[in-house]
Structure 1
Amino acid sequence: MKKYLFALSALSAAGLAPAQEVVRIGHVAAMTGPVAHFGKDSENGVRMAIEALNARGATIAGRKVKWVLAPEDDAGEPKQATAAAQKLADAKVNGVIGHETSGTTIPASKIYFDAGIPQITASSTNPAYTKQGFNTTFRVVANDIQLGRALGRYAVKSMAAKRVAVIDDRTAYGQGLVTEFVNGLRQQGVNVVAKEFTNDKATDFSAILTRIRASNPDLVFFGGMNAVAGPMLRQMKQLGLNVKMMGGDGICSDEMHKLSGGTMADGQVVCAEAGGVEAAGKAAMDKFRADYKKRFGIDVQIIAPYSYDATLILAEAMNRAGSAAPAKYLPALAKLRYKGVTGNIAFDPHGDIRDGTITLYTFKGGHRTEIAVTK
């Protein structure tokens, strides 16, 4: 017995004792570029979850685990996204949270599928992502079909919109959102009076806004991100196009006030976030937001609570399967029912969240103000 204990001690001293299991969770989003504020928000949510798992000593089938974040920057660019995805696949991470935008999430998803690595997006909403037939794709927010059509209904029923102009930024996100918004309008018997497009790097919108002004709209819908929507709103005012703007979660943060140069009037912008908690979940979300601010010194943008839940979902699926090996825990992930800070989460056969909520907002005093949570 003494010889056995001595041998174990010698192995440990030599660094040959069994190492603590390390589980690496990849995260990819824009850490640089015009939408980096959303990307950093998403990464912060994952970081909080990793820290929480380590703090409570979260195990897998009773085995001690060291949870590690493996972050990558895709700059919101499809080519960089696939390079980042390949890097994580080659590193054999245990799961991935990301990417941030539909235009990066969709091309990267093929790489994760080929590697057999589960991928959960906390923000990408284009329906095409989960319609590819990949069993590795999951989403914890409502998709553009739900979001766009809800916005279309609200525009007609609550904003009395009758003459609507639409603009998209030619990204997978922007085009998909506009398509479903227009479908939502048509279901209410309203058609668009002008349809224009720009790109996600544009800064001058005078030509398209002049054409839109000629159509005399009472609402402009933009499919894209706030880095473009803010300057566009400022130029709308300069051209005397003083109508309301509507958009999705890409324009749904307090950054809109700053990016518009302070020209955004109270109630002028209405947006929707894919997600949101109903009354019963307010306390948990408020606590998360307070913890986030304490940890990072800034307020939540949009994505952090969803990337936080997505990370904990991966950990829970691994625990239920008794393994961090993707092939072993993937079936458990698909069947998982989980109560997170963003509400109850379960996936349909495509990997979309079941009964996803949508939150409508406007802005008052430059700050986002909730209108309603709907499904």
Structure 2
Amino acid sequence: MPDLRRLAAVLAAALLLGSCTSEGDDAPDGNDRAACDTSKGTLIVGVIAPLSGELGEQGKGIANATSLAVDQANESCAVDGYRLVAQPEDDGMNPDLGAQAATKLASTENLAGVVSTLNSSVSARVQPILDSAGILQVSPANTADSLSRGENFRTDPKRRFETYFRTCTVDSLQGPFAANYLVEKLEETRIAIVTDGLKYGEGLADSFTERAEEKGATIVTRQRIDGNATDFTKVIDALKPFEPDAVYFGGQFPQAAPLSEQLAAAGLTGPVMGGDGIYHDAYLSAGGKEGDLATSVGAPTEDLESAQEFASAYEAKGYPEGIGAYGAFAYDAANVIIDSLATTIGDGEWSPSMREDLVATVGEYEGDGATGKVAFDEYGDSTNHVLTVYEVRDGKWVAVETGEYID
């Protein structure tokens, strides 16, 4: 659900059709809705996401949700005098490609802001490029704490980039939320940790470990795999002597699913648990087994009244990809950019000199989004700390616990 200011714009457009029309505009469309004034030109909302590769479906869900928000903004004449265009760029889940995409967008004329990125390791390369140009970045999916508060975020948090914001919550909350469920609810107390060695997986595993040990669990071993591995014989051989009750995996579903399958075949039948990186339907068909667990940011889309309008509009567009774990967060990220852009420009004209004002406007943003209340703290992090635990039951992900993590 868009920000209240944007809803007001929609209502105004419906009641006063002529208010969005200026002399010389195109004729009304077939629905007798007067066309918006776009005489000031076009503004670009960029997207950086993996549009190809193993996470391509999730990346396309982010791009689709952004395009939906842009289309709705154009229909409601949200930014006075301008037509908005979404420009997606593929990072292939590769930091180097992400840097190339950021450089390309940074040099794109009339770029207003960027919905970016899915992977935290990619964002680490993208952030300084966009920030050096003063370009707003709002991520729907980055969860690594260090992106907003620095490597010493636990003891000495410092905001790294004033231009960076995110609509999802962070690993320092997601990991403990998972640990609480696995140790307290399921009473799994001998846990092995496996990570893919990347920023996201390592940070998630660190926060999980700290909380699990506080709750009395024993981390029997911690192993690392190659992020491109498909045969996990070596790591499984390392785990077997410890006979863990469960395995916590810090990484993405393309490795987590076959790892789960191979663990079970080797006699380690306890649940595999991970973060939002494994919460994907492809996990179920790639080897994930009954009883496996994942946490993900936010509440289930189908359970949120605030998300129903978005979900219906997304379905009506006929996108071949589903909303996925991050679609609603991408929709909110895009609307943060659009609504703040409308506020910053007002009835004036866009100039790159407005970028600093746009970033400041986002910092003060408060609105109702598809994921609930949307606002940011002093580090640019979302103030929405709701998380959900999902379990594989009868071949489907089923939400088993939703709540706000409180330390």
Q: Which residue of 1 aligns with 2:155?
A: none
Q: Which residue of 1 aligns with 2:372?
A: 343
Q: Which residue of 1 aligns with 2:358?
A: 329
Counterparts of 1:227 and 1:111, CA distance in 2: 29
Deviations 1:311-356 (A, max 9, x none): 0011111122236532221111001111101000111111001142
Q: In structure 2, do the counterparts of structure 1 residues 55 and 274 end up closer, same or farther at CA, with 3 Å as the change threshold?
A: same
Contact 1:254–1:366 (Cα < 8 Å) also in 2? no
Aligned pairs (5 A) from 1:149-188:
149-188=176-215
Counterparts of 1:193 and 1:259, CA distance in 2: 27
Q: Which residue of 2 aligns with 1:84?
A: 101
Give the alignment partner of residue 217 of structure 1, picking from 235, 244, 256. 244
Q: What one-letter code is carried by the residue in structure 2 that aligns with 1:283?
A: E
Aligned pairs (5 A) from 1:70-149:
70-92=87-109, 93-132=111-150, 133-149=160-176
Query: Secondary structure of the residue that 2:313 maps to in structure 1?
Result: helix
5+ residue gaps, structure 2, are 1-22, 25-37, 151-159
Kindly indicate whether residue 313 of structure 2 is the aligned counterpart of residue 291 of structure 1. yes
Deviations 1:157-191 (A, max 9, x none): 11101100010101111111101110111221223
Counting aligned pairs with the same residue, the percent is 24
Q: 1:278, CA displacement in angstroms?
A: 9.4
Kindly indicate whether residue 272 of structure 2 is the aligned counterpart of residue 245 of structure 1. yes
Aligned pairs (5 A) from 1:267-282:
268-276=291-299, 282=304
Aligned residues: 353
Q: Which residue of 2 aligns with 1:197?
A: 224
Counterparts of 2:401 and 2:308, CA distance in 1: 16
Deviations 1:71-97 (A, max 9, x none): 100100111111111111111421010
Deviations 1:24-80 (A, max 9, x none): 011001111111121111111111111111122212xxx222110111001001111
Query: Secondary structure of the residue that 1:24 maps to in structure 2?
Result: strand
Q: What one-letter code is carried by the residue in structure 1 that aligns with 2:289?
A: M
Aligned pairs (5 A) from 1:28-67:
28-59=48-79, 63-67=80-84
Q: What one-letter code is carried by the residue in structure 2 that aligns with 1:44?
A: N
Q: 1:361, CA displacement in angstroms?
A: 0.9
Q: In structure 2, do the counterparts of structure 1 residues 298 and 26 end up closer, same or farther at CA, with 3 Å as the change threshold?
A: closer
Counterparts of 1:107 and 1:278, CA distance in 2: 30
Query: Secondary structure of the residue that 1:126 maps to in structure 2?
Result: coil
Q: 1:150, CA displacement in angstroms?
A: 0.9
Query: Secondary structure of the residue that 1:231 maps to in structure 2?
Result: helix
Deviations 1:129-176 (A, max 9, x none): 102421001011110001011111111111101100010101111111
Q: What one-letter code is carried by the residue in structure 2 that aligns with 1:321?
A: T
Q: Which residue of 2 aligns with 1:232?
A: 259
Q: In structure 2, do the counterparts of structure 1 residues 277 and 228 end up closer, same or farther at CA, with 3 Å as the change threshold?
A: closer
Q: Which residue of 2 aligns with 1:304?
A: 327
5+ residue gaps, structure 1, are 1-7, 10-17
Query: Secondary structure of the residue that 1:250 maps to in structure 2?
Result: coil
Q: Which residue of 1 aligns with 2:14?
A: none
Q: Which residue of 2 aligns with 1:206?
A: 233
Contact 2:293–2:389 (Cα < 8 Å) also in 1? yes
Counterparts of 2:257 and 2:301, CA distance in 1: 29
Counterparts of 1:220 and 1:360, CA distance in 2: 15
Counterparts of 1:139 and 1:363, CA distance in 2: 28
Counterparts of 2:95 and 2:161, CA distance in 1: 19
TM-score if structure 2 supplies the norm length? 0.83
TM-score if structure 1 supplies the norm length? 0.90
Aligned pairs (5 A) from 1:257-272:
257-260=284-287, 264-265=289-290, 268-272=291-295
Contact 1:231–1:259 (Cα < 8 Å) also in 2? yes
Counterparts of 2:304 and 2:144, CA distance in 1: 27
Q: 1:277, CA displacement in angstroms?
A: 6.0
| Stretch deviating more after TM superposition (146-155 or 282-291) | 282-291
Counterparts of 1:68 and 1:239, CA distance in 2: 51
Contact 1:94–1:117 (Cα < 8 Å) also in 2? yes
Query: Secondary structure of the residue that 1:154 maps to in structure 2?
Result: helix
Kindly indicate whether residue 77 of structure 2 is the aligned counterpart of residue 27 of structure 1. no
Q: 1:294, CA displacement in angstroms?
A: 3.1
Q: Which residue of 2 aligns with 1:366?
A: 395
Counterparts of 1:294 and 1:369, CA distance in 2: 25
